[in-house]
Amino acid sequence: MGEVEFLNWVRGSGLNIAIAVFLLGVILRLIEIYSLGRKPDLSAPRHAAGASGLHTVFRRSLPPPGMMKRSPVSYIGGYIFHIGLAVVVFLFAPHIKLIENFFGLSWPGLPSQVVDLVAVITLVAMVVVLVDRITKPVKRFLSTFEDYFTWTVTFLPVLTGYLAVKHLLLPYTTMLALHILSVEILLVVLPFTKLFHAFTVFGSRWFNGHLNAHKGVPV
């Protein structure tokens, strides 16, 4: 398969397959989660200041007291690369155009120079977080293959996308095809790995906060 044929496949059949697996996987996982159900809580609700689902979403999005000082790389690096990923994915004009083609939704993007800078910062932050995980004995002990695998499938789309835009390392056609392929791999594995927290993180925090608020316990 030549470069052009490979690019056409990943932009056509490959992308359609990846999106289909992604959507089906997300739907199945959400059905699995929401079908678990819970028995109704018949206890009398108790009220406490700051106890609610919304408060919990906000509090759990901030570092616990003292943790920023104890583990600055985890929190600062984590914030940087999560925000950076959101900017690169949703505010880069070609990505917005792709979303518009599939879902009919569109919004203004950022200048390409800004997105390029954010991509570099995101890559650096991810590397720093990985090095911190490897060099800290406790984090290394708690890490599993899935942690490194999900890091890799998240890192590669940003890296290959940047290299493609800058026409670096490989011919543009080849690098663009590898970029699209890396995105498709990410889409396929996302519903079935820890990366699915992208869909559950705020909902789970709200639910735990709402549940504990009924007991008068702020979390």
CB of 151 closer than 8 Å to CB of 126:
yes
Residues in the chain: 219
pLDDT digits (tens, 9 = 90+) for 8-51: 889 889 999 999 999 999 999 988 887 876 777 666 667 766 66
CB of 154 closer than 8 Å to CB of 85:
yes
pLDDT > 90 fraction of the chain, expressed in percent and rounded: 54
As given in the structure block, the two tokens for residue 212 are 């504990």
Average pLDDT, the chain: 87
CB atoms within 10 A of CB 191: 20
As given in the structure block, the two tokens for residue 33 are 């989660």
Calpha distance 32→17 (Å, rounded): 22
CB of 94 closer than 8 Å to CB of 106:
no
pTM for this entry: 0.85
pLDDT of residue 44: 66
Q: pLDDT class for 185, splitting at 50, 70, 90?
A: very high
Calpha distance 65→112 (Å, rounded): 37
Query: Which residue, 188, 190, 189, is CA-closest to 200?
Result: 190
Q: pLDDT higher for 199 or 167?
A: 167
pLDDT of residue 64: 76
Query: Looking at residues 56-82, what average pLDDT do you find?
Result: 81
